[in-house]
Amino acid sequence: MKINRIDASMLKNMFLSGAKRLDKNKEYINELNVFPVPDGDTGTNMTMTIMSAAREVSAIDEPTMASLAKAISQGALRGARGNSGVILSQLFRGFTREIKEQTELDGPVLERALRRASETAYKAVMKPKEGTILTVARGISEKAGDILESSSDLTEAFQKIIEHGNYMLSITPEMLPVLKQAGVIDSGGKGLMTVLEGAYAYMIGEDDAQELDTSSATTNGQPVPERKMGLDEIETADIKFGYCTEFIVMLEKKFDDEDEKQFKAYLSSIGDSIVCVADEDIVKVHVHTNDPGLAIQKGLSYGSLTSMKIDNMREEHHERLFKDAEKLAEEQKKEDEKEASAAVPMKETGFVSISVGEGISKIFQDLGVDFVVEGGQTMNPSTADILDAVEKVHAKTVYVMPNNKNIILAAQQAAELAKDCRVVVIPSTNIPQGIAAIINYIEGETPEENSARMIEEMQKIRSAQVTYSIRDTEIDGKQIKEGDIMGIGDKGLLAVGDDIDQTVIDCVKAMADEDTEIISLYHGADVTDESCSALAEKIGQLCPDCDVEVYNGGQPIYYYVISAE
């Protein structure tokens, strides 16, 4: 099938088909992570990122390039998780910036869009590494430059681009020795190719994008609530206002905070369960009322209406309405919290820390962190999660400690999106570094001075994490079998064994030197206080000049987090 141009409807379905294929293959992509740890999650992070955009895209009934570009870019940007997810969101961001003013996509436009996607992603990474998703994206861009300008058949051109992308993916182990040693290709690059292959499958009629279930993505390990679900029966006698009324106002006049306040007040006078949210040139409205016409008439005073829906709640007792009202009530609660927060003067400084485990979260809170973002098992909150935490701190300057190298880009992206405060990202790569950073903050000094000191001091910390292997592999010349205990340090593998305590001791031996004064053990949920204390005694005998401190971190997956300073 020969295709010369791609319209908005086709692009929408190609995107959803790519998202569906990534979702189906995320576990395989997870398996490609170099370190065979239980929370290796490149596939999961990329899937959650693209699903955030897919939900926005799926909601567009009559797509245009402009509406698709906005939905893909904003959805992926806010849903981005992990380095791979952030880079994927930046690829989408660059691509959509090039297409948003088009009506159709031909070869030259696609070439420019793919080139801009690659350039945008490279710029987002401070120290780009070859042999990663960036390399694959650049290879795709370069191949597109060779063939799209003169191609009259986009299906044939896409096939060649995908073939070249897979070739670039196949040679990533030659660019990154750690991939070659582990016997895997780059997981992020595989994720990107999976998306493109899904899009191409729809293009040639081999896939159905409408089968995509965007509710299958998860948030911090929890399922994303479906948009329409609930109880089968709702007592109609309890319904004060009978019509669930929704519409979007396409603004044709100014609509500032005062207008929004007045609109909400009017809706409150005719109903309840109100949501009125303005975003650039639109206003989303939801109200339960006995006279939908009044709400619609008021909306028309601000502009034209679209996406209108009126449901008679006394007749429709099925699941959809109950859960929708619950969801909208939660959104209204968030709006009320924002309004209440805005009424309180902003403090000068605040802190956000990513954490995992109740014990570690308590340590951060005791050190003065205002908001702890629980990372869950994979410890990968999204850009939107971090941005929400920053806003809740309600401070003029907010320091963010990601405490995981896979969250730093998401935190930096959140800092760019923050509007009402300055966000300073302290690029901590693990929990001990985050603790060291917050300890070395000095009140009264400038953000620049504090940032420099916090980074300098945290980099003096040596750390390791002890967990188990989920597959056989070889790393740093060490043979690893499934089920082996691994000690992973700041720059690679420190120890491998079949005993947790001995692996911890081997890590300490590799980390400690004559200048080491304190060794800290943060034990996980699967280790008892007694076992940790007994291990600490052994380490004390091994390092008699060091203080050995013990903390119940409560983290999952990792038996111990160790620091030496």
Q: Are 277 and 236 a contacting pair, CB within 8 Å?
A: no
Q: Is the pLDDT assigned to residue 563 strictly greater than 70?
A: yes
Residue 274 vs residue 220, higher pLDDT = 274
Rounded Cα distance, 208 and 18, in Å: 10
In this structure, what are the phi and psi dihedrals at residue 307, rounded to the nearest 5 degrees? 50, 40
pLDDT at 212 over 70: no
pLDDT at 376: 56
> Between residues 399 and 215, which one has the greater pLDDT?
399
What single string gives the DSSP state of each residue in 260-321? Answer: HHHHHHHHHHHEEEEEEEEETTEEEEEEEES-HHHHHHHHHTTEEEEEEEEEETTT--SHHH
Confidence of residue 447 (pLDDT cuts 50, 70, 90): very high
pLDDT tens digit string along 28-42? Answer: 998 888 777 766 688
Are the beta carbons of 355 and 364 closer than 8 angstroms?
yes
Is the pTM above the cut of 0.85? no
Q: Is the pLDDT of residue 213 over 80?
A: no
Q: How confident is the model at residue 343 (pLDDT cuts 50, 70, 90)?
A: low
Confidence of residue 91 (pLDDT cuts 50, 70, 90): very high
Q: Given a cut of 80, is residue 298 above it in pLDDT? A: yes
Residue 341: what pLDDT?
59
Residue 562 has pLDDT above 60, yes or no: yes
- Mean pLDDT across the chain: 86
Residue 553 pLDDT > 60: yes
Radius of gyration of the chain from its Cα atoms, rounded to whole angstroms = 26
CA distances from 384 to 37, 85, 177, 339, 381 (A): 26, 12, 34, 19, 8
Output the six-digit token pair for 399: 């320091």
Which of these, 395, 403, 399, lies nearest to 420 by C-alpha position? 395
What residues are paired with 311 via a beta bridge?
244
As a dihedral over the C-alpha atoms of residue 80, residue 81, residue 85, residue 89, rounded to 10 degrees, the angle is 10
Is pLDDT at 535 greater than 90 in this prediction? yes
- Range 274-287 burial, b when 16+ CB lie within 10 A, else e: bbbebeeebbebbb
- When mean pLDDT is compared across 65-79, 289-303, 335-349, 459-473, the lowest value belongs to 335-349
* Contacts of residue 447, Cβ cutoff 8 Å, sequence gap at least 6: 397, 399, 422, 424
Angle 148-154-156 from CA coordinates, rounded to 5°: 95
Helices 65-79 and 42-58 meet at what angle, rounded to 10? 140
Determine the average pLDDT of the residues in 262-287: 79
Weakest-pLDDT range from 258-267, 341-350, 373-382: 373-382
pLDDT at 149 (0 to 100): 77
Residue 226 has pLDDT above 60, yes or no: no
326: phi > 0 → left, psi -120 to 50 → alpha, else beta; which? alpha
pLDDT of residue 236: 43
Question: Quick one: average pLDDT of 408-433?
Answer: 94
pLDDT value of position 323: 53
Q: How far apart (Å, rounded) are the C-alpha atoms in residues 249 and 272?
A: 19
Encode pLDDT of 185-206 as tens digits.
999 999 999 999 999 999 998 8
pLDDT-derived band at 317 (thresholds 50, 70, 90) equals: very low
Most confident of 220-224, 279-283, 304-308, 509-513: 509-513
* Contact of 487 with 494, CB cutoff 8 Å: yes
Residue 209 scores a pLDDT above 50: yes
- 429 or 224, which is more confident? 429
Report the pLDDT value the prediction gives residue 539, as an integer from 0 to 100. Answer: 96
Lowest mean pLDDT among 15-19, 214-218, 399-403, 534-538: 214-218
- pLDDT of 448 above 60: yes
Asked whether the CA dihedral 294, 298, 300, 305 is positive or negative, the reply is negative
Write the secondary structure of 74-85 as one string of H (helix), E (strand) and C (coil). Answer: HHHHHHCEHHHH
Q: Residue 77 above 60 pLDDT?
A: yes
DSSP class of residue 153 equals: -
pLDDT band of residue 559 (cuts 50, 70, 90) is: very high
Least confident of 87-101, 303-317, 455-469: 303-317
Average of pLDDT values for 474-478? Answer: 83
Residue whose token pair is 């299958």: 216
| pLDDT on residue 151 | 75
- CA 508 – CA 527 distance, rounded (Å): 18
Helix H segments across 380-492?
A: 383-393, 408-417, 431-439, 447-458
pLDDT of 219 higher than 50:
no
